[in-house]
Every structure is written in structure tokens, then in C-alpha cells.
Structure 1
Amino acid sequence: MTTHENASPPPSDRGLRRFVNVEPHEIGALIASFAMFFALLSAYYIVRPVRDDIGVTLGKDALHQLFTVVFAVMIVLVPLFGFVAARFPRRLVLPAIYIFFALNLAGFWLVMKSGDRSMPVAGTFFVWASVFNLFVVSLFWSLMSELWSHEEAKRLYGFISAGGTAGALTGPLLTQGLVRLFAPIDLLLVSALLLVVAMSAGLVVRRLRTGGGGPETDAAGGGILDGALKVFTTPLFAKIALFVFLANVVGTFFYLEQARLVAATITNSAERVEFFSGRDFAVSVATFLIEVFGTARILRRFGVTAALLALPVTAAAGVFLLSFDAALWVVAAVMVAERITSFSLANPAIKVIYTLATPSEKYKVQNFIDTVVFRGGDATSGWLYSSLGGGLGFAASTMGVVAAPLVLVWIFVARRLGAEHQQRAAAAA
């Protein structure tokens, strides 16, 4: 007699298992996780080219000021999130926040549809988009680290990340296709709809992994500032925070230099949006292929430390090249390489580390690092870029001299973080 366990899996399951090392009982939740991240990043990448074009229009001087505003907004919002996470069941936190952001998108659509495209509205949208991206993605990974174990994460996070990359690829294509049928501002409603789809998929993942209830869905408890306190008192989280902070300081150097060169080289707004969406398309294709075929294999064979080190080493090469030739094609190539490495290797490695944390830490610590620390890196980089003479360009100023030591420190932190993860994983095993 053939049992359920010994029965041959259906052809669709066998096809999936050619690409990812997934157990039969994990397939439903894995597909729902993939779909959730797909819808989530599709929603964001519909509005991203608009945000980037607004950034170029506002100018590099306004940009570093807006990064400071975003950082200040994060400082205000994180304690509010801590209050919500501490008081409400975890199963309600993500849906409530996703619905909130979907309503925000509808609100921006109403304001801009009325014809208000003033500087305050443009600046507010830029700040909002920067906050929106970090909060919804951070909550997604908090849910993943809650529901998947450390060993499952090493096997499956590459494929789940590929869902987000497929969404990042689909978002610009949807934008380019739908903009021929609708006004660009109407695409904000498409983004809101996709965010609701992501929320629904998240509910499916939780039900498949936990049955939809039980103590694992209770409130996180504790104080509203627990996340910040644990970052400063727990060595592992302090290293993660420093890794993320340095990544953003260096990455925002590249972003601001790109904004300066795009403004000087491409004068037409439509051409700028096409440039940004084309670059996003290239990043998404390369990242998707690595995530499906390489991320899990690299994490298993070379470990989390190697995946972490790949990003600062890539940035070091970029700093070296830009110090000699800060042409637009060079900075664009550096940013493409850095983002591919970040999305396909460094980010999944960081998320694997979070699976070793407690449920409260998975939400509060991760949210604090993904928002306040992340945007703190943006703000710091903006101040440094401005004070070092960003208008002169990377190669013509002292930015390379400052960026090089930062990258070396970043490499040291990546090695130490990888070593501590190995110790924690061994202890947990």
C-alpha cells in the first residue's frame, strides 16, 4: 500500500523542487511567501521611478535635507510601531500597517489628481515613499523570520527573495505598459491594490505555518523602545546595525553622485524616468537569476560570512573606480553591481541571522535597524556628501578619501558579524 509520504509528488511540485530544496509540506507556504514579496515589491517599484525623478527635480541640495527629514520621521514612527507591536497580536500588526499605507497611496492619488504638484507635495511624497518602502519590507521579513526556522531560511530565503526581485522586475514593466493607458498618477491606485494582495498572501502564509492562531501570534510585549535598547546592548544586533549603517552611508554616496550626474547629463524628465526604470530592470534580471540558482547554494557552501563580505568588497571596487573616473556610466555600473550583490547575497544573509532571534526581537530590533539605522546612514551620507563638496563630483573631491576607510571598517564588521552568527547557530543547534 502506498502511503501519502511515499506517493510521488505532482509534476508542478517536482518542477519547483528542481530549483529550490523544499520539503513537500513547505511548498504551499513557500509559494505564498514568494507571492507576497512579489506583490509587495511590484507595488513599490511602480512608484519608485516617480520618487527618483522627484529627487532629481528637487536637486542634490534638497535631497540630503530630505534624507534628514526621513530620518527624523523614522525616529518618530519607530516608538509608535513599538507601541503597536507590544500591545496588539502579531497577526494583526502587518495587515493593519499594510492597509494604512494603501490608504496613504489613495490619499496621494486624490491630492495629485486635483493638480497639486507643488514642492511641498513633491517633497512629502519623496519622504513618504522612502518610509513606506522600509516599513513594508521590514515587516515582511519580520513575518518570514517568525515563521521559518534558521535551517529552513538558508534553504528557502533565496527563492523567497526571488519573489521580491520578480516583483521589482514586474513593477517597471507594469508602469511602462499601463502609463500608455492611464495617467501616471493613476498607477498609485494599482500600487495600493498590489499592497492589499501582499497583505492577503501574508495571511495565507501565517495560516499555513501556524494554523492562524495560538500563542505565537500574541503581542510581542515589552516596552516601545526595546528594539533600540537591544541594538545598543546586544553585540550581535550592534554588529548588524553597524553593517547596515555603513552599507547605507557608502551606498548613498553613490546615489547622490548618480543624482548629480543624471541632472547634469539628462535634462528631460521622461528620459530620466526611463533611465531609472531601465537600470532597475537590469538589476532585477541579474538578481532574480542569482537568487533562484545561486543564493541558497552560496549560503550552504560558503556560509553567511562570505555572503556578507561580498557587498563591502563590491563597494570597495566601486570606490576605487569612481575615485578615478566619476562618469555617469561608471556610477550607474557601480550601483547596479552593488544592488545586485545586496539583494541576492547580503540581504538574505542578514535575514537568516534574524531567525535566531526571539519573536519580539524579530519585530522590534529588525524594524529599528531597517528603518532608523538604515535612514540614519542616508542622513549621515547626505551631510558628508554636502560638506565634502558633492557638487564637484566624486573624483574631484575628497569623498574617495573618506569612503575608502569606511569600506575597510565595513569589511571588518562583516567578518565579525559572520563569526558571531556561526557561534550563535552552533549554540542553537
Structure 2
Amino acid sequence: MVIFLRTFNIKTEEWKVVRSSFLYFFFLMSSYFILRPVRDEMGIQAGVENMQWLFTGTFAVMLFIIPVFGYLMKKVSRHRLLLKIYLFFGLNILAFYLLFLVVPSPILAASFFIWLSVFNLFVISIFWSFNADIFDSEQAKRLYGPIAAGGSCGAIFGPLVATYCVGFMGINNLLLISVFFLLIATFFLGHLMKAAKRSKEVNLQTSPISSIWHGLILIRRSPFLKQVGLFILLYTSISTFLYFEQAHIISEAFTSSEDRTFYFGTRDLLVNSLTLILQFFITERFIRKAGITIALMIVPLIAVAGFFTLGLHQAVIALLIVQVLYRSFNFSIQRPSREILFTRLSVHEKYNSKNFIDTVIYRGGDAISGWLFAGLNAIIHSISLISLLAVPIAAAWMLTGFRLGKMFNAIPSKTDNYEEQTIIQKKSA
């Protein structure tokens, strides 16, 4: 145990909290990644020329859900509400299970695609927001790598379970396994709740969220949050372009649903395996030594090289290499770095701004860039040329990461004083 803690730079008093967070993320991602390959295949079955409608539908659903979420946060304590959100999503999965048994249809498949996209963004955003409540920026730089590795382990375990069980259980019954894993994730969320409630810094009985538009007001007033919003907008635009390119390349390369699903499963396995290695052995050291600025720029740099490559070679192997590098470094380096950005904000600023950024900006960017891709494809009829047009967007994203990192480093840390660096001891006592 001592060797393990030293290897990953985890203090003894932090171990129980890190372990609970690791297992929480593990089962959460296991639940999601059992269903992800199915979602991607349903998107192609709905027609690659109609995919922008699925992204627009996801954005519309998020706009409806978030005001409801903000209202509930005013009426119900965070402790009770966050647990109920996971139970609610579990009931949603059971409802889809029954509907697929009774009335399978293209509309139901599209609905499942939209629902899973909302589920993914919503529950993972809650996970990282809650961890930002528990850990300060100094701890986040050390601990977010090992904690994020829990998600990567789950992202490997989930597809393996799905691959093993689908042969004798069928696709529909995978939803039941997903519900089971989600319930276990909720159990470990409860463990983290207990740790947070022991801290005076985290009050789970009062709501930090007023409304989705209050987040917009905070962003308009803060140059730092404006830069965060721009960074996320460019990120989601580049990711959507890459996703649409994937749909076009894979739909042309493979004719059968089984072959496409196999590709998606193989892609996820490679991405999550590399991500796990990076998170365990690279993330903490890289972020600590290279700094937030470089950490925010590394994935945009991969995107620049990747889209330039796809502009020259529209081959499946080129797509696979670009996706594996892009997504694995995103999950292992950029995502923890993005979450560290919020650790120097107050609870009020964090929840309200993340509420707006993770919904309106993130999913709105998906929808806008989806229509932009569709419009460009209708005009120039060349995926290769669209890839080259994405290169300057990725370069602008990299420049934004540079500016954002400099702004973050200029914000005074809450743990500049030695006494404040013992927060985790209070929270895990």
C-alpha cells in the first residue's frame, strides 16, 4: 500500500476519499460504455446525413432539463438531489429496456441516441463538479490522474462485459447490466457525500445554482470564464467534426452493422487502454511538471496534425490512429486539466458557470458545428477538404488553451498558505 501511495503521490489521509472517487467513476463509466457502441451504431442507422438532427435534439433536451435541474437544486439539498438524479437515470434505462422489447423503431433508436448523449454529459459533469468540491487545486493536480483512471478502467471493463455477455444475453439485456453498475456508482457517490459533509468548506444542504442564465451572467462578467467558454466551444466543435468524419468514413468502409459495431468497440478498447496507461503513469507528472498551459494545448496540437492527416488520407487506419490519440490524450490530460480550472473558483461560481458551459456551450456547440459540417459537405462534397478547413479551427483552439493557462496561473490559489493545504485531512477525518 505504501509503495502504491508513493507511486501515485497520494497522501495516506487522502486514500479513502480517492478510493471512493475511483470506484464511483469506475462503475459510472462501466455503465455508460456498455451502451456507447450501440449508440454510435444507432446514429449511423439513422443516416449520416441526418446526424446533425440528433445533435440538435440533444441540445434541445439539455435546454429543457437544465432549468428543471436548477429549480430542483433550489428546493432539494444537493445530498439528496444528486443521489436521486442517478436513480432517475437508472429508471430511464429500465424504461428503454421495456420499450425496446415492445416497440423497437427508428424513432426509439434516435431517442436512445439523444438520451445517452445527455446522460453521458450530465452524470460525468456532476462527477467532476463534486470532486472539485472535495479537492483543492494542489490536490487536483496530483489526484485527478489516478481518479480519472477509475473511469478509464470502467471504460475498458464495460465494453468487455458487453462483448462477453451479448452472445448469450442479447443486446437488450445489456441495459440491465448497465443499470446495475449505475446503482453501484450511486452507492460510492454516497460515500463521497459523507466525506464532503464533514467539511465546513462544502455545504450540501444549500444550493449553489440559481438558474442556467445566472451562469451566463457570471461568464459575461469574468474574462477567465469567457476564455473557458471559448475553449469548450472550440473543443466541442472540433470533436463534432471528427465524429461526423468518422460516421462518413465508417459508413462507406463497412456495409454491415456488426462490422461497424466491432470497429466502434475496438476503437473504444484501444482508446481506453491507452488512456488508462497515461492516467496511471503520466497524467499527474505531466500536469505538475509541464503545467496547465501545456496540458491544455496538447490535444489541440494533436487535432491540428490529425485533421491535416485526414485531409490527405481518408483511410480507416488513419481515422483510427487519430481518434485513439485524440480521445486518449483528451481523457487523460485535457479533461483533468479542464476540471482543475474550476478548483480556484467559489462553489457559487463553479456550479453556475459549469452549469451553463457544460450544457448550452457544450451541446450548443455540438449542434452548431453539426449543421456547419452538414452545410460544408452539401456545398463542397469533400470530407478531405473539410478536414483541412478544420485545421485553423484547431489552431485557434490551441491558442485559446495557451491564453487560458496563463490566466489560470495568475489566479491566487486557495492553498498558498500551508494551513489551507490540509483541507483533505479535514474532509477524510
Whether these two folds match at TM > 0.5 is yes
The answer to whether the Cα contact below 8 Å between 1:85 and 1:93 also exists between their aligned partners in 2 is yes
Pairing of 1:232-247 with structure 2 (within 5 A): 232-247=220-235
Q: Who is 1:88 aligned against?
A: 76
Alpha-carbon distance between aligned partners in 1 of 2:31 and 2:148, rounded to the nearest angstrom: 15
Counterpart pick for 2:383 among 389, 394, 401: 394
SS of the residue aligned with 1:185? coil
* Unaligned stretches of 5+ residues in structure 1: 1-12
The answer to whether the Cα contact below 8 Å between 2:208 and 2:352 also exists between their aligned partners in 1 is no
TM-score by structure 1 length?
0.93
Letter in structure 1 aligned against 2:152: T
Q: CA, structure 1 residues 358+93, in 2 after alignment: closer, same or farther (shift >3 Å)?
A: farther
Alpha-carbon distance between aligned partners in 1 of 2:259 and 2:199, rounded to the nearest angstrom: 47
Letter in structure 2 aligned against 1:104: N
Counterpart pick for 1:299 among 287, 307, 310: 287
- Deviation, structure 1 residue 388: 0.8
The answer to whether the Cα contact below 8 Å between 2:136 and 2:415 also exists between their aligned partners in 1 is no
Q: CA, structure 1 residues 267+239, in 2 after alignment: closer, same or farther (shift >3 Å)?
A: same
Letter in structure 1 aligned against 2:106: M
Q: CA, structure 1 residues 69+206, in 2 after alignment: closer, same or farther (shift >3 Å)?
A: same
SS of the residue aligned with 2:84? helix
Alpha-carbon distance between aligned partners in 2 of 1:193 and 1:361, rounded to the nearest angstrom: 34
Q: Who is 1:257 aligned against?
A: 245
- Deviation, structure 1 residue 400: 3.5
Q: Who is 1:153 aligned against?
A: 140
SS of the residue aligned with 2:383? coil
Query: More displaced, 165-174 or 380-389?
Result: 380-389
Q: CA, structure 1 residues 63+415, in 2 after alignment: closer, same or farther (shift >3 Å)?
A: same
Q: Does 2:190 align with 1:208?
A: no
Query: More displaced, 85-94 or 135-144?
Result: 85-94
TM-score by structure 2 length?
0.93
Alpha-carbon distance between aligned partners in 2 of 1:275 and 1:360, rounded to the nearest angstrom: 42
The answer to whether the Cα contact below 8 Å between 2:209 and 2:352 also exists between their aligned partners in 1 is no
Pairing of 1:215-294 with structure 2 (within 5 A): 216-221=203-208, 223-225=210-212, 226-294=214-282
Counterpart pick for 1:408 among 389, 392, 395: 395
Q: CA, structure 1 residues 425+284, in 2 after alignment: closer, same or farther (shift >3 Å)?
A: farther
Alpha-carbon distance between aligned partners in 2 of 1:372 and 1:132, rounded to the nearest angstrom: 15
The answer to whether the Cα contact below 8 Å between 1:109 and 1:185 also exists between their aligned partners in 2 is yes
Q: Does 2:157 align with 1:170?
A: yes
The answer to whether the Cα contact below 8 Å between 1:244 and 1:369 also exists between their aligned partners in 2 is yes
Alpha-carbon distance between aligned partners in 2 of 1:257 and 1:183, rounded to the nearest angstrom: 30
- Deviation, structure 1 residue 406: 1.1
- Deviation, structure 1 residue 361: 2.9
Alpha-carbon distance between aligned partners in 1 of 2:403 and 2:75, rounded to the nearest angstrom: 35
Counterpart pick for 1:368 among 353, 356, 362: 356
* Unaligned stretches of 5+ residues in structure 2: 417-429
Alpha-carbon distance between aligned partners in 1 of 2:101 and 2:220, rounded to the nearest angstrom: 45
Alpha-carbon distance between aligned partners in 2 of 1:425 and 1:409, rounded to the nearest angstrom: 27
Among all aligned residue pairs of Structure 1 and Structure 2, give the percentage whose two residues are the same amino acid.
Answer: 35
Alpha-carbon distance between aligned partners in 2 of 1:244 and 1:300, rounded to the nearest angstrom: 22
- Deviation, structure 1 residue 423: 0.7
Task: Render the CA deviation track for 1:20-54: whole Å, top value 9, x for unaligned.
Answer: 11111111111110000000000000000100000
